[in-house]
């Protein structure tokens, strides 16, 4: 029986101009990677461009900014502009039970077109224009029965089980220590996923 080794990646606050959220997505970049467990509050980052700070990479480098004006907690958060991808790579290849936890303020998109799944997605989710969350399971976008309100902060918690190739999604509102709602259970890793371990956290706006 495979032994489960648990690890965590936790980040503080992203303020998105409009919302498409994804986890474990391939991007054509080779950069120095962080290890897990890993915590990112952004309070220790310099105000201004996020790209290059603490291994963070930004597709349009000036379109993800560390700033103090829009935050959930602490002194700083990152604002991600439209048509921008933000990601961080990780090197830990031994953990099979991985938890990803982050806060995001999510304005809703103008349409509900699902994102394109590329070959290395393990798990991904997005809100439609009506705020309803959808998550990938195998090759299908599954409605989760949970609706986001535009412009509010939410805490998203993802549990990735690399032993069973399944994942769960939990969501809670902005109330400190609020009880999370388990909105997705035993979702299958994307049908095209080749992931054997957690190697990338990604947000696309």
Mean pLDDT by 10 residues, the chain (205 residues): 51 48 36 65 92 92 90 88 86 80 85 76 90 94 94 90 93 85 94 82 84
Number of domains in the chain: 1
Contact 157, 179 (CB under 8 A): no
Residue 48: per-residue pLDDT: 94
Domain that holds residue 133: 6-204
Q: Give me the residues paired with residue 82 across strands.
A: none
The two three-digit tokens of residue 172, written as one number: 């809670």
Cis peptide before 37 (omega within 30 of 0): yes
135 CB-side CA count, 13 A: 24
**pTM, whole model, 2 decimals?**
0.84
Q: Which residues does 45 contact at the CB level (< 8 Å), separation at least 6? A: 53, 54, 66, 76
Q: Is 176 inside any structural domain?
A: yes
Count of residues in the chain: 205
Q: Residue 136: how many CB atoms within 10 A of its CB?
A: 29
Residue 144: per-residue pLDDT: 95
Residue 89: per-residue pLDDT: 86
| Residue-wise burial string across 152-175, b where 16 or more C-beta atoms lie within 10 A, e elsewhere | ebbbbbbbbebeebbbbbbbbeee
Residue 28: per-residue pLDDT: 31
Q: Is 62 inside any structural domain?
A: yes
Residue 4: per-residue pLDDT: 54
Q: Is 86 inside any structural domain?
A: yes
Q: Is 31 inside any structural domain?
A: yes
Q: Is 1 inside any structural domain?
A: no
Residue 182: per-residue pLDDT: 95
């Amino acid at each position: 029986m495979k032994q489960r080794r648990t690890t965590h990646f936790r980040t503080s606050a992203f303020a998105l101009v409009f919302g498409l959220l994804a986890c474990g997505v391939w991007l054509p970049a080779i950069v120095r990677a962080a290890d897990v467990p890993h915590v990112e509050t952004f309070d220790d980052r310099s105000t201004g461009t996020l790209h290059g700070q603490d291994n963070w990479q930004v597709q349009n480098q000036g379109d993800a900014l560390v700033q103090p004006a829009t935050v959930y907690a602490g002194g700083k958060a990152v604002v991600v502009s439209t048509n921008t991808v933000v990601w961080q790579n990780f090197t830990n290849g031994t953990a099979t039970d991985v938890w990803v936890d982050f806060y995001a303020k999510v304005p809703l998109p103008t349409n509900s077109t699902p994102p394109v799944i590329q070959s290395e997605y393990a798990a991904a989710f997005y809100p439609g224009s009506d705020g309803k969350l959808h998550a990938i399971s195998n090759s299908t976008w599954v409605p989760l029965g949970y609706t986001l309100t535009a412009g509010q902060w939410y805490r998203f918690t993802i549990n990735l089980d690399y032993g069973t190739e399944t994942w769960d999604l939990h969501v809670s509102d902005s109330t400190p220590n609020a009880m999370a709602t388990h909105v997705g259970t035993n979702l299958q890793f994307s049908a095209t996923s080749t992931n054997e371990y957690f190697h990338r956290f990604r947000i696309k706006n």
